[in-house]
Structure 1
Amino acid sequence: MNYKCKVKISEVTNLSDARYAAAMGFNYIGFCFDNEKSNYIAPIKAKEMIDWLSGSNIVAEFGNQSIDEIKDISELLQVNAIEVENRILPDELKQLSKAAIKKIDVCSFSDEELLKELEAYQSVCDAFHLYNSKSYNENENFLKELCIKNNIIWNINCSPDTIKIIIEKYNPFAVNIVGEDEEEVGLKDFEVLNNLLEEITNSN
């Protein structure tokens, strides 16, 4: 598929989502190994799904796990990249020897603080996944500048109704979509996701 930017799906919990994402040419397929999240998946279950996939980069998504646990899981599953949302230091992140994505809640920082956070990790991160955990007023010029200077995976105020405008306005490196549960095993309605992809597909 010819998308206007790269596409990442995160927190995948079922094979239907995983195979759909691979078939549709998503660049990144993420599995959440943070057991405090509702979409946590056991590594052994994720491995069963990963074995079915090809063509996409597999991302192991972590929360407050230790550096050793992150290393063990990422090596067990032979993932292409790791995504972390914790206070792992840049030097520690570098030790993992994997492509790294730093996930950041923009609501936890002022613009100045966010800029410093990105600068601190810029040399060891391949991309930054920015999202908002609550209502967030976008500083348009500031965010445009971040997208110019960094590989931003965008998940701020993101919905099927806004995603086309977001891409045209900010031109991010990628957009992030969150996986959803199956209605029942093997049964999934992809209408919403199909409509979203129509919005970000180049017509030519």
Structure 2
Amino acid sequence: MALKHTVKLSNVNNLSDARYGAGMGVALMGFHLDSDSPLSTEKYAEITSWVSGPEFVAEFEHPETNRILEIISLCKPDYIQITNAQFLKELSHIDIPIILKWQLNKIQTVPQHTGVSYLLLEDDQSDNLSTAQKEKIKSLSADYPILLGAGISASNVESLFEELPLAGIALKGGDEIRAGYKDYDELADILELLEED
């Protein structure tokens, strides 16, 4: 299956999500790998060995330089995702593209010209984007390829791509109900709308 737009599936922690996302054609697949993450490097290796297609993203909510370098060495991700722009200078010597994740409610404070591969805008509290947020996204798109991870639903995903200069969207994986069992209704509704004809 191929999708019309780039989709990142974030916070993958089980094989069910990974195989579903790959089968649906997501381009980027993210795994939370902070030092306190329940997902071990061994589990990451196990999951990713069963999946082909997406590029893998090591996601860090509380980045520590030593941990990031350890993950790069052990897991060899295609991308690193961080939430703190101050780490960009420390990581400038690594030869891996970086995704900078930023909270949508702090969109006015996004730093300029950081050279990251994507700016991921997320907000767990936002169901809809405000007019001001949309205007700021349009402005930021001059400096960044934008991945939108907020305010997305099956009812508006197509119109968001028409209205905003997005590089793609980010959806979230999550825990299985029980081993091998997961409800994909919401994900499926969005991804099916993005299938190429």
TM score, norm. by length of structure 2 = 0.88
C-alpha distance in 1 between matches for 2:167 and 2:85? 24
The match for 1:171 is: 165
C-alpha distance in 2 between matches for 1:87 and 1:151? 16
C-alpha distance in 1 between matches for 2:10 and 2:44? 12
Kindly provide the amino acid, as one letter, of the partner of residue 172 in structure 1.
L
Q: Displacement, 1:167?
A: 1.4
TM score, norm. by length of structure 1 = 0.85
Q: Does 1:130 align with 2:121?
A: yes
The match for 1:192 is: 186
Paired residues of 1:82 and 1:99 also in contact (CA < 8 A): yes
The match for 2:156 is: 162
C-alpha distance in 1 between matches for 2:107 and 2:27? 28
The match for 2:55 is: 57
C-alpha distance in 2 between matches for 1:2 and 1:25? 5
C-alpha distance in 1 between matches for 2:155 and 2:19? 25
Q: Displacement, 1:18?
A: 0.3
1:8 aligned counterpart, secondary structure? strand
Q: Deviations over 1:42-92 (max 9, x none)?
A: 222111101111221000000223111111012201111110012433321
Q: Deviations over 1:124-146 (max 9, x none)?
A: x1111111244463423332232
Paired residues of 2:3 and 2:26 also in contact (CA < 8 A): no
Paired residues of 1:16 and 1:187 also in contact (CA < 8 A): yes
Paired residues of 1:151 and 1:172 also in contact (CA < 8 A): yes
Paired residues of 2:19 and 2:51 also in contact (CA < 8 A): yes
Q: Displacement, 1:182?
A: 1.4
Paired residues of 2:103 and 2:121 also in contact (CA < 8 A): yes
> How many residues matched?
194
The match for 1:82 is: 80
The match for 1:25 is: 25
1:164 aligned counterpart, secondary structure? helix
Q: Displacement, 1:201?
A: 2.3
Which of 94, 99, 114 lines up with 2:97 in the alignment?
99
Change (3 A) 1:134 1:191: closer
Q: Displacement, 1:188?
A: 2.0
The root-mean-square deviation of aligned C-alpha atoms, in Å, is 2.0
Paired residues of 1:59 and 1:81 also in contact (CA < 8 A): yes
The match for 2:195 is: 201
Kindly provide the amino acid, as one letter, of the partner of residue 152 in structure 1.
I
Kindly provide the amino acid, as one letter, of the partner of residue 24 in structure 1.
M
Q: Displacement, 1:36?
A: 6.2
Counting aligned pairs with the same residue, the percent is 27
C-alpha distance in 2 between matches for 1:81 and 1:196? 24
Paired residues of 2:27 and 2:55 also in contact (CA < 8 A): yes
C-alpha distance in 2 between matches for 1:88 and 1:149? 18
